[in-house]
Amino acid sequence: MKQERLSLTERMRRIRKTDTKPELIVRRLIHAMGYRYRLHQSNLPGCPDIVLARYRKVILVHGCFWHRHDCADGRKLPRSKPEYWRPKLERNRRRDEASIERLHELGWGVLVVWECETRNGKRLCETLTRFLGSPELSTS
């Protein structure tokens, strides 16, 4: 079976922006905790993945590679075309920092959940609980 060679543009087009596995993991957990949320609010800086407007909190679910986490996956750099990838990934990181800063300025609580953190369900649940608290106690 002959493997087809895809151009960089075609490969990039196949990468999901929303409804990624890590994002779905986080959404299932917070829904099970009793929270209701909106997705990808484009009227907020950075178009956060999960928006809990009632609590003025947002959750950003970042892929380690794309957003340059300080883990093994985040430190990887493709061997081909590093002159393309290094600046692109650095722009992503800077854009994320600016979006988070702007969200804080607007009075939103921000939690960044990294892809690698979704692999440990217990720890992720503890992190989400600390950030969100209990829905029964948080209601105003």
Identify the pLDDT of residue 137.
45
Residues 6+ apart with CB under 8 A from 54: 139
Range of the domain at 74: 13-129
Identify the pLDDT of residue 138.
44
Is residue 110 included in any domain, yes or no? Answer: yes
Q: Are 132 and 35 in contact (CB under 8 A)?
A: yes
Does the pTM surpass 0.75? The reply is yes
pLDDT per position in the chain (140 positions), as tens?
A: 556 676 656 655 556 566 689 999 999 999 999 999 999 999 999 999 999 999 999 999 999 988 888 888 878 888 888 888 899 999 999 999 999 999 999 999 999 999 999 999 999 999 999 999 865 544 44
Residue 40 belongs to domain with CATH number: 3.40.960.10
